[in-house]
Amino acid sequence: MSQKLDRRKKYTRKVLKDSLITLLANKSLSSITVKEICELADINRSTFYTHYTDHYDLLHKIEDEITEDMNRYLHSYDYEKEEESLQMTEKILEYITENRLMFQTLLNHQSAPTFEKRLMDLTRNFMINTWPRANELRTEESKYLSSFVISGAIHVIKEWIAQDLKESPREMAEMINQFINNGLSYFE
């Protein structure tokens, strides 16, 4: 019986998340109501409130889930090894591909103004703590360098999504890693 409830709970949360993302693709978060989310999800409002306090809480939980997934991917590979770094980037890009609408919507500042910053903070902390040469830099340099690299990668990913994911996750992972590792010398 509890397994049935767990499946139902997972289903309810999934349709509520999907409904919010669908609405966010066309409207700002502040103009969305719980009633609209529930109507689109075909869930009653009391059920919504058993899972979330409001639509801001729902968005925060979506962001938490993505952050946890991304963190797991980041820490499941040895970043210092070139091949594993490439695999990690590819795995993250595959995750983005599988959740394209969600990332396209959440990386839009009008839809979810905090999401990109959360991704920046997560990857910055990872980079500073795992990049072998980070210790050689002053704290400020390390922060600026990580911001430069991560914001560049995020904007490349946003452009990739806008271009209908023309390249495969593997091709994009190779490109991003080349940009990070070789910078402007990539074009020489």
- And the tokens for 94? 């595959």
**From CA 72, how far away is CA 33, in angstroms rounded?**
32
Polymer length in residues for the chain: 188
Nearest to 105 by CA among 174, 25, 28: 25
- Alpha helices per DSSP H over the chain: 2-24, 34-41, 45-51, 55-75, 82-98, 100-106, 115-130, 139-162, 169-182
In this prediction, residue 11 carries a pLDDT of 93
Are 121 and 66 spatial neighbours (Cβ–Cβ below 8 Å)? no
Is the per-residue pLDDT at 166 higher than 70? yes
| CATH superfamily for domain 2-187 | Tetracycline Repressor, domain 2 (1.10.357.10)
The sign of the dihedral angle between the CA atoms of 64, 66, 71, 76 is positive
Q: Sketch the domain layout of the chain as residue ranges.
A: 2-187
Nearest to 87 by CA among 153, 167, 177: 177
- And the tokens for 91? 């795995």
In this prediction, residue 82 carries a pLDDT of 66
Binning pLDDT at 50, 70 and 90, where does residue 42 land?
A: very high
In this prediction, residue 112 carries a pLDDT of 72
**How do residues 99-157 score in pLDDT, each as one tens digit?**
999 999 999 877 677 898 899 888 888 777 776 555 565 667 777 777 888 889 999 99
Q: What is the pTM of this model?
A: 0.83
**From CA 20, how far away is CA 23, in angstroms rounded?**
5
